Structure 1
Amino acid sequence: MLKTVIVPQLALLLCAWSTKTQDFMSPSVNIIAELGKVKDIEEQLKIMKQMLQNQNNLVAQLNSRVVELEIKNEALQIMAQTSLDKTESMQKENEARKVAFSASLLDSETGHNGPVLETSPLIYKRVFTNFGNGYDSSTGIFTAPLKGVYYFRFYAHSHTGIRMAVSLYKNDVRQCSLFSLKPTNTNGNASNGIVLTLQKGDQIFTKLWENTWVYDDPNSYTSFGGFLLFPL
């Protein structure tokens, strides 16, 4: 009876062991599936790696473009500043070229200047215009603010019986004069003008001759003026 029971059980154990052995020795369907998953993961990793490389390349390109734009922007800023500096320089130069003055002898009084024994610059006190601030109303002297060619004009007036003579000077050197010799039946009037080449700092002024007179009143008969024709 025992033998009859054991034999079937042993047969069952051998059958089970044989099945397990076959499962172990044969390819497992689950392992193949896992290997497929691993392969898929590897493919995804390759794709991600390529995407990361592409992103790195794009970042490098963007960085290069940013650097290029920064260089161009810096160059544009330099060009803009240079243009601004040139514009300001041209404006200053243009302002410097605006040189002109005009003045009459007496501010609001009426009377004569002279006669004098020692000549000194006539001081024209009533200033009409003084672009460039070249004329000094306290000394009567015009100082050239820049090198150039200038035009000057001066007028003088005297009454009957008065000798009148005025000369224009450049740095104490007489350049030209006007003269009226004691008219008996009319007032004396005279004028003169000259074009001079001046260096920066040259001085222009007028002087009475010794023992001569000039007259002025609010009508500004006696005057002195000049302007820059062009710079050199």
Structure 2
Amino acid sequence: MVVLQMILLLCAGSSVANDSCSTNVNIYAELEKLKNMEERIQNLEEMNEALKIIVQDSQNQLKSLQMENQAKKVAFSAGLLESGRGNTGPFHTGKTLVYKKVFSNIGGAYDSNTGIFTAPMKGAYYFRFYGHCHGGPTMAISLLKNGETQCSLHSFKPASNGNASNGVVLTLETGDKISTRLWQNTWVYDDPASYTSFGGFLLFPM
């Protein structure tokens, strides 16, 4: 009988020990799972920060491209007289024509206070200018790049009305200046129909 009781006690102790070990094993397994989960969360946070940086870089690049694209939009067109009608000239010396009636000035490169277009970037530009006069004195206008004549229009002492135009493609550096100049002892006419005008635009940057 005593032997049987001892055997039963030994069996019971063995069962408790097994349960305790089993419990310890489960705790370690859960702790390992938590550790793995923490590592995964940390990895996700690192990935999230990396994605934030990538998104910010992409937004900066997009903004830069948008600004660059906006800068490439350069065009203007203007008539000589803002209002009214009449002759400009003749003068004893050449005179820069200031076109006051601005139809468009995309990019703001044309200055209606001076009549000068200033290239905002290096590129190929197209310019066109027109002149009108009544019978009498000669009309002659030149287009200038940095003060140097590039091309001209001319109407020699027309009997009634005279019209002329010219255009040119120029390669400009940033800051180059384009204007038109009325020759000395010549005149030009304009009215609300804007017969005398000046315009240009960027063909492509270089």
Shorter-chain TM-score tier: over 0.9
Is residue 147 of structure 2 the alignment partner of residue 172 of structure 1? yes
Unaligned runs of 5+ in 2: none
Larger strand proportion, structure 1 or 2? 2
Alignment size in residue pairs? 206
SS, match of residue 138 in structure 1: coil
CA RMSD of aligned residues (A): 1.5
**Larger RCO, structures 1/2 (Cα 8 Å, 6+ apart):** 2
1:38 to 13, 21, 26: 13
TM-score (norm 1): 0.84
Cα distance, 1:146 vs structure 2: 1.1
**Partner residue, 2:184:** 210
Is residue 130 of structure 2 the alignment partner of residue 155 of structure 1? yes
Cα distance, 1:28 vs structure 2: 7.1
Q: 1:120 to 1:43 in 2, by over 3 A?
A: farther
Distance 1:116 1:38 in 2: 124
Q: Which amino acid aligns with 2:204?
A: F
**Partner residue, 1:201:** 175
Cα distance, 1:32 vs structure 2: 4.8
Structure 1 stretches of 4+ moved >6 Å: none
Cα distance, 1:27 vs structure 2: 4.0
Q: Which amino acid aligns with 1:225?
A: G
Distance 2:35 2:53 in 1: 27
Distance 2:200 2:68 in 1: 19
Mean Cα displacement is larger for which, 111-120 or 160-169?
Answer: 111-120
SS, match of residue 90 in structure 1: helix
TM-score (norm 2): 0.94
Is residue 165 of structure 2 the alignment partner of residue 191 of structure 1? yes
Distance 1:75 1:61 in 2: 21
Is residue 202 of structure 2 the alignment partner of residue 228 of structure 1? yes
1:130 to 90, 105, 115: 105
The structure whose Rg is larger is: 1
Contact 2:95 2:184 in 1 (8 A): no
Larger helix proportion, structure 1 or 2? 1
Distance 1:204 1:38 in 2: 105
Q: Which amino acid aligns with 1:149?
A: A
SS, match of residue 183 in structure 1: coil
1:51 to 9, 12, 26: 26
Deviations 1:170-204 (A, max 9, x none): 111111110110111x2010000000111111111
**Partner residue, 1:76:** 51
Is residue 116 of structure 2 the alignment partner of residue 141 of structure 1? yes
Contact 2:93 2:185 in 1 (8 A): no
Distance 1:28 1:60 in 2: 47
